Each structure stands twice: as C-alpha cells, then as structure tokens.
Structure 1
Amino acid sequence: MSSGSGPMDEPVDGGPEPKTSREPGAGAEPGQQASASAVLRRFTRPVARTIIVGAVLTAVSSVCTFIPYLVITRIAQQALTGRIDSSRELAVPLAVAAVAALAGRALFGLGTGICHHADADFRVRVREELIRHLSRVPLGWFLDNPSGEVKQAASDDVLSMHQAVGHAPADITAVLLSPLIPLVYLFTVDWRFALVLLLYVVVGLGVSLILMSKDHDRLNREYNNAIVELSAASVEMIDGVEVVKTYGTSARANRRFSQAVDRLSAIAYLWAIRTAAPFSTVMALFSPAVMLILLSALTMLFVSRDWLGLVDCVPFLILGVGIPSALLHMATSLGFLRLALQSSGHLGAVLAAEPLTEPDEPGEFPDGELGVQMDGVSFAYGTDSAPVLTDVDITLSPGTVAALVGDSGSGKTTLARLIPRFWDPASGAVRIGGLDLRDVTTTQVLSRTAMVLQDSMLLRQSIRDNIRLARPDADDDEVIAAARSAQIHDRIMELPHGYDTVIGSDDGELSGGEAQRVAIARAIMQDAPILILDEATAHADPENEVAIQDALAHLARGRTTVVIAHRLNTITHADQILVVERGRIVERGTHDELLARDGRYTALWRKQTVKEGSDAR
C-alpha cells in the first residue's frame, strides 16, 4: 500500500553500502557520526519548513491511498452479508475510491516536488558555502588535498546528501504511514488479531535484522577498503602505463590490479553469503503468498473459536497482506540516509579546514618595487608534524635575485611558498614591503606575486585567455607583447587558430617547454613586483630551455625574484644564494663567496660538476 515512488519502489538488496572516493564518515566513531549529523542538520535547517510541508502532504497522501483499500474492504463485507442489491450501489464508493487514489498520487507527487524544491535551495546553499570556505583556506591546502577531494565535496557529497532532503522526507513518511494507518484500523476491528499480526511482523523483522547485521561493520569497512585499493591500482596502471611498459613491469601492475579485483570479489561474495539466508528468509516470510496463508490460518482459528465472525476477518485478509512489504522499503530509505550521513562527515571534514585570517582593516603595499623579509620563521605541516622550517631569517632587497638551493626535502619549496601566503608560519613573520602578510588580504598578496612552477598549469581555454588570466581586461596587443617577451609568439602563430587555439584540443597540443613559455607570458601579463620561479626549466629539452631562460631573464628584470634551483650553474649570477638544509639557512652569499668558504654549497657544486662531467662523457 505504499504510495511512494522512486527509491522506495526499488528492491531491497543485501549488498555492501556504496562508498564514495574518500569518506571519513564511513565506519565513523559515534562522535564523528554526531558531527556528520550536525553538518546535515545545519544545512537543512534553512529549508526545514519546506521539508515539513512536503512531509505533511505525503502523510495526507498516505491517508488518501488507504481509502481505496478501506472501500474494497467494506464492499467485500457487504457482499458476504448479501447487503448489495445492485451494481448501482457500488458506483459511489468506487468513485470515492478512485478519487482518493488519484488524490493520493497527486499529493505524493506534490510533496516530493516540494521536497525537491527545498533540495535545490539546499544544494545551492551548500555549494556556495563550500566555495566561500575554499576561497579562504590556504593555497597549501590544495597541494595537500588532490582535486578529487574538492570534486567529491562539491559534487558527490552534495548529491548523496540530496537524498536526505529530496527523497527521504517523503519516502520515509510514506513508508511509516503506509503500514501504520491500516494497522491502527485493524486494531479498532479486533486488537487480538491485529496484535498477532504485529508480533509476526516485528519478530520476523527483528530476527532478520539481527542475522543481517552480523559482521556488518567489519564487512562494510573491508568492502570500502577494497574499493579504495582497486581505485588506486586502476589509477596506477592507467597513469603509469608508459613507465610500466618501458620498464617491463606490466605483469606486476596487472597482478596488483587482478589481486584488488579478486579481493573485492571475495568480500562481495562473502557479503552475499552472509546476507543471502536472512534476506531470503525475510522476503519469504513477508511475501504476499505466505502472508495470505498466515492470515487465512488465523481467520480459521478465530472463526472456529467464535472469537470473530468471517465478515469481521475480511479487513485482515485484504489489508494485512501489504503491511510487511511497506516496511521492507524502509531499508532502502535508511540506506540512503546513512550514505547522506557519510557524505556529510566528509563535507564537514573539508569545511573544518582552517581558513586564513583576513584583517578587518588591511594595510596597503607601497607602489613600485617590493622587498621580502622573513623574521624567525618556523613552519610545520600540522601541529603533530616535525618542523619543516626552523628560525629562518632572510632579507631580499627590492629588484634582486635570490636563489634557494639544497637537497630535496630540505624545505626550499615550503620557504618559497610562504611568500605568496600558501600558509602562515607557525611562528615569526613574513613581510612584503615591510607589511606582515597577516595584515593584508590574500588577494593583495597574490596580486603582488607571480609564480612559474615546474608544471605549468594551463586551463582548457584559448591561449589568449590563458595569457590574460591575471588581467582579463588586457587587449590583444598586450597579449601579443607578453607572448613575444616569453619567446612563444612565433609558435602560437604556427597553430591553425593562433591565439584562439584551445589548450588540450586536437590542434592545441603544446610541448612541456612551450606550455611553460605560455605560463611565463601569463606571469609577464600579471606584472607583479615579486616573482617566484620553482625550477621552471626542469622538464624542458635543451632547445626549449634556452628559450625559457631568455623569457625568464626578461620576466625577472626589475623584480624581486626567488629562484628554486637544482642546477647550480643557472644561478651563479644571483645576488644572493641561500643554502637550505633541514629547514635552516646554513649558508648565504654570492656564488664566489660561497665557493671561497668551501662549505656546504661548495660540496653541492663539486658533486653536481662531477655528475655533469660524467653525464657528458
């Protein structure tokens, strides 16, 4: 007798619950689940009244849906007692039944539509808050969390939470009232018969739930872990296919993928084995045929004992059959709610990322060239992590070039990325133009800082739009001038659509060095007084490297430039070289000064010179 549609009408399956790509809410502790519930409540609170209206309309639809069954019951009772003289007497009650049935469907559709209207507001509100929050978190957060993390929060999690707003209120209301209304009516007919029926349903559901919940949490965790492992193996095999084939390790990669598939299949099979018996049992116990047999047996018992007349048993035979089937749909609805809670937990974890503080009255950077200072700067990735930088003091005079050198993992990149405020230091201060970065807005800092990284990030837009990303109002002449300075104009003009070529399209494929020069043109267009170069020529071939070096030389002119360098021969003319080791500045000076000291820099220089000489041979 359920009046629901959509997920309510889907068959209940005994399989493991689906898992999204990364969900801290899965298998969460009670405290974490409470936090997930709080996140869901917080976002649904503004649309709570609309949801209640939808649920009330669904409740009224359940009453209307019950009326046709009640009419049929009355007609059957009258037929058994011979009180129907002609078919004309059936016209009015059948018309009432038809109108009630139509009204029930209409009201359910209206209630569901209202809930979906609330869901639309809910999703917009969640995504707007998520975007506002992500715009305030440190840029370093995006380095620590892959793009899939943001995609899951903004798309997958919100879609899963949609079930709790768009479907669950109407579905669960219908699922609860569809068996409850006829059961209440049956208790008014005869409480003894109704009590036996209720006990049968409760005991059957209870036993089945106990059997099905055995090892539920453990199997669910193992299933989710197997999904993650399979995803990782798939990504490894696809992303690393060139390396895998080049080094002849495809068999090993395929073996890991096959093992992940086998593990997932084994867990799914074990889940099916554990749930098949109780699931099949409950479906058999509550099937219409078994329910009809049970109700017929009870009817014979009650009539033979003169506890009820045959006519009085008719409501139980008609209405009792559908009571358990409506309750079975509850599992599907509750499964959607559980998934919504898991997604709320993950979304809550993303929203818990600590945002950067912004001053109420930000200062203003002075015009012209700007210097950079770090005073006693220490930094660690998390409160429980080892320090990456310790008590760093540097001064970069306006218009000078400073190079950061040292072994991998020494802290060079972290130090450089504190300048555009990817993070705030744990202690000490980072200053640009004498202003502490915490006393200005992040937008102000980024507008004064241009970055060219190892991997040039170009958007899937035209080359023209990529170059003027920092200055959308720039005209074509300025775009072309920036491209010429970046030594990339001639290559762009060789493309079929020139500056209108879309990056990543069939005719818009650029080599790594060419893409890097487009990124340099973009930095030239930004015209920021501070420039950060993170091994910008690391992946370039010799021909492109020369062009990139020329472009970088033009870009760095008149700017305070920080260069992260692995090839020491590229920074011999730097105004200042800072040697970073284990998060500390251990040496500083010009190339000649550092070589004269015969210290750490000299060791790095000799090591690299010997290696380059060996490579040349």
Structure 2
Amino acid sequence: MTKEQKEKSGIAVLLDFAGERKWLTYLGCVLSAAAQLLGFGPYVCIWLVARDLIAVAPDWTAATGIATYGWWAVGFAAASIVLYYVALCCTHMAAFHCASNMRKQVSSHLMKLPLGYFDNHATGELRRIVDGCAASTETLLAHSLPDVAGSVTMVLGMLVLLFVFDWRLGLACLASVVVSLLALMKVMVGEGVEFIKQYIDASTNMSKAGTEYVRGIPVVKVFQQTVHSFKAFHDAINEYSERARDYTDKICRGPQVVNLSALNGVVVFLLPVALLLAPGEGDFAHFVANFAFYAIFSAVVPTAMNKLMFSTEAFQKADDAQKRVRSVLEAKPLPVSEAPEHPSGNDVRFDDVTFTYEGAEKPAVEHVSFEAPAGSTLALVGPSGGGKSTCAALIPRFWDADSGSVMVGGVDVRQMDPHELMDQVAFVFQTNQLFHQTLADNVRAARPDATDDEVLAALSAAQCDDIVAKLPQGANTMLGAGGAYLSGGEVQRVALARAILKDAPIVVLDEATAFADPENEALIQRAFTRLAAGRTVIMIAHRLSTVVGADKIVVLDQGRVAESGKHEELLAAGGLYARMWADYEKAASWRIEGEKAAATPAVAMEGGEA
C-alpha cells in the first residue's frame, strides 16, 4: 500500500478497490439525493390540497385543483422510487466490484507473504478479514453511502422547507432535530467511537476463538468438558457480551431515549408554539394550512435522522474494516530477487544463521552452522524448543534469517525464485491437512499435471496400498465430510505420497512419525526409505531410533548447535546426545507390570490396611 493510499480517508481507500466502476458509486449517490428531493413533492402537494380546501371551506366543491395535486403527488412518489432503485443498482454494481477486488487483492497479497505469517495469524482472524470485512464494505457502498447522500440531502431540503412556509413553526420542528443531534453526538464521537472499536475487536476475538474451539471439540468431548473449560473461547464470549452490554448501557441507552423521544415527539415542540401564535394571526386560514403542513411533514424528521444515524454506524464499521484490510496489505511480502540465481546442486548449508520470531525476546536459533551434502540424510535432534522446526522452516523460507545464510545448491534461498525454491523442496509436516477431495486429488496437489498411474505409483511407494484397497472407490474415494476418514498414521502416509509425487530433490521431514502407531510407523519408515533414495533429507525426530542411520546428526539446544556427528561418534562423546539416547533407551524398556500392580492393593484391602 502506497504512502498516498495511507493518507486517503477510509471511504476513498474503499472506493479505490472499485477501480473503473468507482463512478457508479458517485452516480448512485447523486440519484439517491435526487430521489430524496422528489420525495418532498407529495408533502408539498398535500399542503396545496389543505390550503385550497381551507380557503374555500365549507364549499369543498370549489377546490378544483385537488385532483391535479393528487396526480402530481403520485408522480413525485413514483419518480422518487424509480430514481432510488436506479441509484441502488449503480451502487450495488460498484460495491460488488469493490468487494470482489478487495477479496482478490487481499488473497493475492496473502499468497505473497511468508508461510510463517500464517502461524502468527489465526485462521478465524484471516477469514473475517478476507470475507467479513469485504461484506461490511459491500453493505457500506451498496446501501449506506447512497443513504447518507440521500439523508444529507433530505436534512438540507427539510431545513429549507421548514422555513419556506412559516419560519416560526419551522424553528419549533428544528428544535427536535437539535436535541436529537446533541444526543447522537454522545454516541457517535469520543467515548462512543472507542466503544465501537472495542466491540468490533471483541467480535473478532470471539470468531477466532470459536474457530479454535470447533477444531478442539473432539478433545473437549473425550474429556467430558464444557465450553467453560475452553478458557480462550469462554473468555472471548464473556468479553464480547461485556462490550455489547457496556455499549448498550453506558453509551447508547440514555442518549437513544432522548433521541427517539425528540424525533418522534416533534408535536411536543410544534403544538405549544402553534397555540401561542394562533391568537395573533390575521390570516387564520393560511396559518392553519401551514400548521397542517408542518404536522404532516414532521413525519419526515425521524426518518431523515434515523437514516443518518444508522449510516454513521456503518461508516464506523467500514472504517474499521478497511483498517483491518490495510493491516494485511501492509504486511511485508516475501522479498523476491530481481535477478534470481539458480542452484547448482541439492546440498543444504546453514552459515552462521540467527533468527528471532516477531515479538520474541531472544533468538529461536543463534549462530547455527551445518551442512547436508547432496544425497545425504541429516537429522536435527535435541530438547523441545531447541530450534529444530525453526531450522527446517527456514529452508523453504517460511521466514528469512535475520543474519547469516541458508543456502541450497550454493545459492542463498533469498536470492532464488520462490517458485524454483518450492520445486526444490518437499516438506512433510508434523500434522498434515487433507482436502475435501478424492484421495487421488489430495496426492495430486503436489503436482497437478500428474497422471492417474503416477498418483497410484506414489501411493504405492508411500505404502498406501492397504488404504487404497479398503476405500469403496479406491483412490477416487472422497475424503472428509460425507466421505471416508483416515487415521493419523494413514494421513502421514498420504502426505508422504504427495512428497514422493512431487519428486523434489530436497525433502524436509518434521516429526513425520509423531502420531503414528507402531504398525503405521513401520510403513512410514519404509516410505521414508523410498522417499530418501537419491535425495537430500533433513529429518527432525524425537524418536532417536529413527535417526540412528543418518549420515549426520546435529544436536540443537536452546537455539545453538551443541554437537554434531554420526550416532556412534556422539555416543562416544558422552555429551547431550548420549544422555538423550540413555533416556530414550530407558523409556523404550519401560513396562507396566500389571499383575503385581493389581495384586498389591487387593491384598491391602483384604487386610484392612490403609
């Protein structure tokens, strides 16, 4: 987003999204204003009818122009409706174009952001920005903006008409408008604006927490918990409820009572003034006709003011929406080299790499250096929080290193074309997402142009033959809602099939056996063997048995390289890896002695001992 765009008002920024159809918004506002002016016509015609009838009373037949005034009133009303309809057609076309462009631009910009951005921004929050903000903007431009133009025109026209016939009665009607405006200022400015912002923030937080809660429902149900046990969602609901209640009680209730009483009680201001003026009127019939006009026209006052009030609220929400959209568009995209370099091999090298997450006080990895030659397998191990996953994520540029270099084929990944880098690296996450598509299409996501035979070959290489065999339509079976479901270990094998189909020369495995049972782990290990053949593999694992055969093991502790070498070398060194291996062997040999454990309490109970 440019400096010029930042300096524009919220409405101007939103209209920029409408592009070449921006003029339709302006045309719609002009037509809406004209429609409101035509809407005054029937009231003037009614006044003319009242004037003629009072002038000839009690000989009503002498009032010959009544029918003409009636047809004029119908014409004004019909013209007002038609113009307003055309106005809304114009603003809706511009609004739909604006919302569509906003979604496209935000989505396009999100595609340019580092993958790590999505780890720091919840799905619910991004969904609300992409979809919710566009929807509120659509409401603003399609309805609120033309209504504001019409409302402003209506108020200005009303002020003119109030003083055309009898300025004294006009002032009486205007007094209700002044009281209403003073009440609305309490809601729309100052503290009221801050409350609106807090209310919208609370709504966003509740949406974000709600998404996380829905995803965690299986855990909640397994442990027989309630929504109150899911603290984030519970607190978000309470915060939203509190903000809504505070806005209603502390900001809106008093001013709104005064506002509605003043607008709907115009006669309270009008009637006393009329009674005071009536005795001194020389042309009493003309005065009565004027009073009739103001009594009828007073119905316009609350309509105009209510439209203005609700339009202002829409402006506040739309301003908040464009700020949230702007926060995404201002996020720095992944830098792309203007003269990208091409890797000359498949080796991976970290050269004095330091990286700190946004908002963190200390680096996640600090001065890390290691090398994985082409075709070798390098394992990253160490205590939790040591920086293993961070190192793995720096290779495909989830983030960029603060200092040092991450190099693939002798080229800094920041100097490579992002598409070429992604072609070089296949990433198997600790948790993998399957789409609501067929099994074959889920695998084909790695390479959309792959043939059915290539997909089946990848599934077979990933040890997925049993999965294909048990599904009703084989690889063409739909997965997810309304289809088949796979276990965690089976999902991991499908993810490996994706990586095999992609056929990238570098493979990063982040805890790929974390959720696998022993049977699935054995199959996954076989798939690893097939996947690793001829490729450079960076493997992260807590189960040390899976990295024993690695060409090199790098031990990370608190973001630094503690030691490195082969399995036997590290054991002989007696350092951190040796201690981790001893703990692993101890844990692997741990057993539950069920009979002894069960018998002891039974004997104690029979003996009556505590």
TM-score (normalised: structure 1): 0.87
- Which residue does 2:281 correspond to in 1? 306
2:392 equivalent in structure 1: 416
Q: Distance in 1 between matches of 2:267 and 2:232?
A: 52
Please name the residue that 1:455 is paired with. Answer: 431
Structure 2 match to 1:281: 258
Structure with larger RCO (C-alpha < 8 A, sep 6+) = 1
CA deviations over 1:75-129 (Å, ceiling 9, x no partner): 1111111197557532322222211111100100110110010011111221221
User: Which among 329, 335, 338 is matched to residue 357 of structure 1?
Assistant: 335
The answer to whether the 8 A contact 1:379-1:388 is kept is yes
- CA offset at residue 146 of structure 1? 2.2
Residue 100 (structure 1) aligned to one of 70, 76, 82: 76
Cα displacement string for residues 256-309 of structure 1 (whole angstroms, at most 9, x for unaligned residues): 97787677656655554444343233222221xx32353233222223233874
Displacement of 1:74 in angstroms is 1.1
Q: Are 1:344 and 2:322 an aligned pair?
A: yes
Give the structure 1 partner of residue 44 of structure 2: 70
| CA drift at 1:57 | 0.6
Whole-Å Cα distance in 1 between the matches of residues 516 and 195 of structure 2?
Answer: 49
Q: Is the 8 A contact 2:15 2:22 kept in 1?
A: no
Task: Work out which of the residue numbers 162, 166, 177 in structure 1 matches 2:142.
Answer: 166
The correspondence for 2:121, drawn from 131, 140, 145, is 145
Compared CA separation, residues 335 and 262, structure 1 to 2 (3 A): same
Instruction: Say if 2:550 and 2:566, in contact at 8 Å, map to a contact too.
Output: yes
CA 1:455–1:237 in structure 2 vs 1: closer, same or farther (change >3 Å)? closer
Is 1:176 equivalent to 2:159 in the alignment? no
The 10-residue stretch of structure 1 (166-175 or 298-307) with the greater mean CA deviation from structure 2: 298-307
Match of 1:60 among 20, 34, 37: 34
1:563 aligns with 2:536: no
Any residues of structure 2 matched to 1:542-581 within 5 Å, and which?
A: 542-581=518-557
- Between 1:87-96 and 1:404-413, the stretch displaced more is 87-96
Unaligned runs of 5+ in 2: 1-5, 594-610
CA drift at 1:130: 1.1
Query: Structure 2-normalised TM-score?
Result: 0.88
**Partner residue in 1 for 2:608:** none
| 2-structure distance, mates of 1:254, 1:486 | 37
| Inter-CA distance 405–257: structure 2 relative to 1 (3 Å threshold) | closer
For residues 21-52 of structure 1, what are the alpha-carbon distances to aligned partners after superposition, in whole Å with 9 as ceiling and x for unaligned?
xxxxxxxxxxx998866743543575432211
CA contact (8 A) 1:33 1:341 kept: no
Moved more, 83-92 or 537-546: 83-92
CA distance in structure 2 between the partners assigned to 1:468 and 1:66 by the alignment:
64
Segment of structure 1 superposing worse, 192-201 or 416-425? 192-201
CA distance in 2, matches of 1:254, 1:470: 36
Unaligned runs of 5+ in 1: 1-31
Cα offset, 1:523, TM superposition: 0.8
Aligned counterpart, 2:362: 386
Determine if contact 1:237/1:253 at 8 Å carries over to the other structure. no
| Structure 2 residue 461 is the aligned partner of structure 1 residue 474 | no
Going from structure 1 to structure 2, the CA distance change for 1:525 and 1:346 (only over 3 Å counts) comes to same
Supply the distance in 2 between the matched residues of 1:211 and 1:352 (Cα, whole angstroms).
31
CA deviation after TM superposition for structure 1 residue 528, in Å = 0.3
Task: Name 2:186's counterpart in structure 1.
Answer: 210
Contact 1:405 1:566 in 2 (8 A): yes
Q: Are residues 543 and 37 of structure 1, via their aligned partners in 2, closer, same or farther at CA, if it must alter by over 3 Å?
A: same
Compared CA separation, residues 213 and 60, structure 1 to 2 (3 A):
closer
The 2-side partners of 1:605 and 1:616 are apart by 21
AA aligned to 2:295 is L
Equivalent pair of 1:33/1:345 in contact (CA under 8 Å):
no
Which is further off, 355-364 or 53-62? 355-364
Determine helix, strand or coil for the equivalent of 2:346: coil
| Aligned match for 2:302, one of 309, 324, 334 | 324
Map 1:389-538 onto structure 2 (within 5 A).
389-538=365-514
Q: 1:478 to 1:384 in 2, by over 3 A?
A: closer
Relative to structure 1, the CA distance from residue 500 to residue 395 in structure 2 (aligned partners, 3 Å threshold; closer, same or farther) is same
8 Å Cα contact 1:378/1:427 also seen in 2: yes
* Identity level (%): 33
Q: Structure 1: which amino acid aligns with 2:29?
A: A
Per the alignment, do residues 204 and 127 of structure 1 end up closer, same or farther by CA in structure 2, a change over 3 Å counting? closer
Distance 1:243 1:148, change over 3 A: closer
Amino acid at match of 1:55: C
Aligned to 2:269: 294
Question: Could you tell me which amino acid in structure 2 is paired with residue 357 of structure 1?
Answer: P
Instruction: Give the number of equivalent residue pairs.
Output: 582
Conserved 8 A contact 2:125-2:204:
no
Q: How much has 1:61 moved relative to structure 2? A: 0.7
For 2:469 and 2:213, locate their aligned partners in 1 and report how far apart those are by CA, in whole Å: 37
Q: CA deviation at 1:616?
A: 7.0
**Which range moves more in the overlay, 397-406 or 85-94?**
85-94
Contact preservation (8 Å) 2:263, 2:302: yes
Deviations 1:222-246 (A, max 9, x none): 6567657766776676554554455
Counterpart AA for 2:253: A
Indicate if the aligned counterparts of 1:377 and 1:429 stay in contact, CA closer than 8 A: yes
- Alpha-carbon offset, residue 183 of structure 1: 2.2
Matches within 5 A, 1:34-49: 39-40=13-14, 42-43=16-17, 47-49=21-23
Greater mean deviation of Cα atoms: 525-534 or 503-512: 503-512
The 2-side partners of 1:581 and 1:539 are apart by 24
Residue pair 2:48, 2:69 contacting (<8 A) in 1 also: no
Q: Partner of 2:65 in structure 1?
A: 89
d(CA) in 2 for partners of 1:38, 1:212: 21
The Cα offsets for residues 559-603 of structure 1, whole Å up to 9 and x where unpaired, read as: 000000101111011001001111111211111111111111111
* Alignment partner, residue 253 of structure 1: 229
Is the alpha carbon distance of 1:544 and 1:227 closer, same or farther for their aligned partners in structure 2, counting shifts above 3 Å?
Answer: same
Counterpart CA distance in 2 for 1:435 and 1:573 is: 28
Question: Deviation of residue 169 (structure 1)?
Answer: 1.9
Q: State the Cα distance separating 1:188 from its structure 2 match.
A: 2.7
Q: Deviations over 1:475-509 (max 9, x none)?
A: 11111111111110232122111111111144411
Please state whether the residue corresponding to 1:386 is helix, strand or coil.
coil
The one-character-per-residue Cα deviations of 1:131-154 (angstroms, maximum 9, x if unpaired) are 221111101111222222331121
1:179/1:322 contact within 8 Å kept: no
